[in-house]
Amino acid sequence: MRRLCAVTMLALAVLSGGCEDRGSAAPRVVVGVGSTTEQRVLAALSVRALEAAGMAPEVRSDLGGTLGLRRAAIGGNIDVFWDYTGAAWALGMGHQAPPSDPEESYQRVARGDESNGLTWAEPSAANATLALFVERDALPPSQRPRGLGWLAGVLSAGEKHLCADPEFITRAGGLEALASAYSIDVDRLTELTIPAVEEHAISGVAEGRCFAALATATSGEALRAGLVLVADDLRVFPAFIVAPVVRTDRMSAVPRLTTAVESVAALLDTATLAELNARVAAGEDPAEVAEEFLARSVRGS
């Protein structure tokens, strides 16, 4: 019901060009933006929704990752930002073993941030967790659904390479955990893994150097390269649920703030966010992508 109300509000505001009384001063809302394409996409969507709801958003860009965004919010320098549950749990709060279950991941960070004066609004259905990607033609016709159990068998044969971030290769919860869960010899898998940051891992598959690439599930670059995600059947990778986070004191001062960003969250899932990321990665303007997407979404609601 809460999601339905949020989307309805956005639909009315966007289709009417903003439903608030412009004669009164619009409340100022400071939107924090990280340093990735995805953060710029999420910020552009938020700005449009806030404007449509009668607010005056101000953007603070290039605040870095989770730590920079959280620092700015806790310090009172921004009012709202988008974060990832797994990143907030491990980096922001300093805990070990981020949960792989999306609901548990969300509930833990929501409770943990109460004392920090931050409120996690209703999350999106997008999970920007780690994922392995392969070329579509690499999948056998019978591989439905596409699962890591199948890919584990391919890698265990010892003839195919995996491209993965160097940090993932060396940390205990990375390559070693993947090998253990899917019964792959860790020493063999380590030998077959080529260190590569996400961009180079994706190009490595496209160019034939690697059979599979490690990237985020919402990667626009992977989508642009024509790669397909291989499902993590056993949930080895922690959940990185994408959600808006609002300074608690601003929620009461600007009641429409939370509803506006929740209306955006209600429209997003993993595949949709990847598509928006791909458009911006291809050179489209984030604001134009956001405008077109929101207008199309509310007209179809």
Is 236 a domain residue?
no
CATH classification at residue 37: 3.40.190.10
pLDDT for 123: 99
**Residue 235 located in a structural domain:** no
Closest CA to 132 of 153, 146, 114: 146
Distance, in Å, from the CA atom of 185 to the CA atom of 280, rounded to the nearest integer, reads 39
pTM for the full predicted model = 0.92
User: Do 248 and 123 reside in the same domain of the chain?
Assistant: yes
Burial class (CB in 10 A: 0-12, 13-18, 19+), 242: buried
**Structural domain boundaries, residue 177:** 130-230
pLDDT at 202: 98
23 and 90: one domain?
A: yes
Q: Would the CA dihedral through 20, 26, 28, 32 be positive or negative?
A: positive
Q: How far is CA 66 from CA 87, 90, 93, 94, 110, in A?
A: 7, 10, 10, 12, 15
153 and 294, same domain (yes or no): no
- Same structural domain, 97 and 26: yes
Residue 49 domain-assigned (yes or no): yes
- For residue 196, give the CATH number of its domain: 3.40.190.120
pLDDT grade, residue 15 (50/70/90)? low
Q: Are residues 9 and 111 in the same domain?
A: yes
* Average pLDDT score, the chain: 92
**Structurally, how many domains does the chain consist of?**
2
Q: State which of 203, 230, 257 marks the end of a domain.
A: 230
Query: Both 259 and 123 in a single domain?
Result: yes
Considering the domain architecture, whether residues 12 and 115 belong to the same structural domain is answered as: yes
User: Do residues 213 and 96 both lie within one domain?
Assistant: no
211 assigned to some structural domain: yes
Express each pLDDT in 144-185 by its tens digit. Answer: 557 899 999 999 998 899 999 999 999 988 999 999 999 999
Among candidates 199, 133, 207, 196, which has minimal Cα distance to 164? 196
Instruction: Verify that 216 and 249 share a domain, yes or no.
Output: no
